[in-house]
């Protein structure tokens, strides 16, 4: 065993709270932990010890992408086991400063967001469900298909918005527009969706015409920072899976813009991935998947909302729903590898597989959570006094 392999072995022994085998390219095999192994890691090329200390997730993630590491067995189960001991992961924030703390300027954030969502509508259509919903679904009974669960997620959100015919609704980070389409069909609201992605804007515009909803809906290529000067006013505002792209320095600015367009007594429904603490984010995810992405904590968002006199009506965790959602996406992704392979190289495929599986494991372990918060701007005594309305058929 060469020096790099020995150093890698030394590092991996920090994870002795679990149990797995590691086989090096020489055929030498080591056992981490004392119980029977739950999975096996095949090391074709040892990861440099220095890289493991600088960022464990970046070092191991890149090694998997490059084919230097393989996981024999279920990759989600393996990552799920490893993530139970994330306290052993290392991140040198000083060395990774430029990666972890990117600019929150308007131009840079547009570039970062589009790097993910402009991969192509054809790519996302392969493994998302027909609604093209790229956010946590809602498995009310647990046995729904992904498409059924996405319909139920949208229905759940629309109920929390307490919509009535003729109301106006803004969707910040509207994606491919399914939420607004359903809102217009079911409640006959007038909606506006804003997005930074040209691909999403094009697809949503097309869907509006196909559904014959031009009278009710429109989509704009717009940054949330432009809302404050837009002159628009809405009865309701919703944002699903967008706050993660705002950046910690801009949370107050985000609320200012929401506040500028939401009418008094209006409801703001915020759906976002949350963390227990105020961390800068994972180095591998920020480098390869969501550049600039930061996960807000629940406490900082609720604390900030109080500064704007927003009342917290309801908070719901959908963490376990996101585990099921990601497992569905992963399954569909693997089923469409022939088509994806014609679009992207093998390194991209391995990267995307790691992303979907690592996120599923992270939610399962509570490393991250998913919260829906129902805010009311000021006092509104006309809303239902109980949550019963959220679950009525």
**Span 235-256, average pLDDT:** 96
What is the DSSP-derived secondary structure letter of residue 212?
Answer: T
Q: If you average pLDDT over each of 12-21, 117-126, 161-170, which comes out highest?
A: 161-170
Q: Which residues pair with 72 in a beta bridge?
A: 40
Strand intervals (E) in the chain: 20-23, 29-32, 40-43, 69-72, 168-172, 190-195, 217-221, 234-240, 262-274, 310-317, 369-377
What's the rounded Cα separation, in Å, for the pair 90 and 92? Answer: 7
What are the residue numbers of the active site?
359
Q: Looking at residue 53, what is its pLDDT?
A: 95
Q: Looking at residue 393, what is its pLDDT?
A: 81
Mean pLDDT taken over the chain: 95
Q: Looking at residue 4, what is its pLDDT?
A: 85
Under 8 Å between Cβ of 322 and 332: no
Flag the least confident range among 33-37, 194-198, 348-352. 33-37
What's the rounded Cα separation, in Å, for the pair 13 and 377? Answer: 52
Flag the least confident range among 29-38, 167-176, 224-233, 319-328. 29-38
Backbone torsions φ then ψ of 328, nearest 5 degrees: -65, -45
pLDDT band at 350 (very low <50, low <70, confident <90, very high): very high
Under 8 Å between Cβ of 268 and 172: no
Q: Looking at residue 5, what is its pLDDT?
A: 87
Q: Looking at residue 2, what is its pLDDT?
A: 83
Position 1 pLDDT exceeds 80 = no
């Amino acid at each position: 065993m060469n020096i790099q392999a020995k150093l890698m072995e030394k590092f991996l022994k920090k994870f002795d709270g679990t149990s797995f085998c590691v086989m090096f390219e020489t055929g030498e095999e080591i056992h981490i932990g004392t119980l029977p192994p739950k999975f096996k890691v095949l090391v074709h090329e040892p990861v440099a010890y220095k890289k493991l200390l600088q960022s464990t997730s970046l070092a191991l993630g890149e090694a998997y992408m490059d084919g230097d590491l393989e996981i024999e067995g279920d990759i989600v189960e393996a990552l799920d086991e490893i993530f139970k001991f994330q306290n052993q992961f290392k991140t040198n924030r000083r060395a990774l400063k430029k990666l972890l703390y990117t600019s929150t300027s308007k131009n840079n954030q547009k570039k970062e967001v589009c790097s993910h969502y402009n991969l192509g509508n054809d790519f996302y259509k392969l493994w998302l469900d027909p609604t093209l919903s790229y956010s946590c679904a809602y498995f009310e009974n647990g046995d729904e298909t992904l498409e059924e669960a996405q319909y139920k997620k949208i229905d759940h959100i629309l109920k929390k918005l307490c919509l009535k015919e003729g109301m106006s609704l803004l969707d910040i980070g509207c994606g491919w527009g399914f939420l607004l389409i359903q809102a217009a069909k079911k409640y006959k609201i007038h909606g506006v969706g804003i997005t930074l992605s040209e691909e999403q804007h094009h697809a949503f515009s097309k869907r509006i015409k196909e559904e014959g909803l031009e009278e009710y809906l429109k989509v704009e290529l717009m940054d949330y920072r432009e809302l404050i000067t837009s002159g628009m006013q809405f009865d309701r505002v919703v944002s699903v899976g967008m706050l993660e792209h705002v950046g910690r320095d801009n949370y107050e600015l985000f609320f200012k813009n929401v506040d500028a367009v939401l009418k008094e007594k209006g409801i703001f429904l915020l759906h976002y991935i949350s963390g227990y603490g105020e961390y800068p984010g994972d180095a591998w995810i920020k480098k390869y998947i969501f550049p600039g992405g930061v996960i807000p904590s629940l406490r900082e968002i609720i604390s900030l909302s109080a500064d704007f006199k927003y009342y917290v009506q309801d908070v719901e965790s959908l963490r376990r729903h996101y585990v099921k959602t990601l497992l569905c996406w992963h399954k569909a992704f693997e089923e469409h590898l022939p088509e994806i392979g014609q679009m992207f190289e093998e390194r991209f495929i391995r990267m995307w597989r790691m992303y979907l599986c690592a996120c599923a494991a992270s939610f399962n372990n509570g490393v991250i959570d998913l919260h829906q918060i129902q805010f009311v701007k000021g006092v509104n005594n006309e809303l239902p006094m109980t949550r019963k309305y959220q679950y009525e058929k």
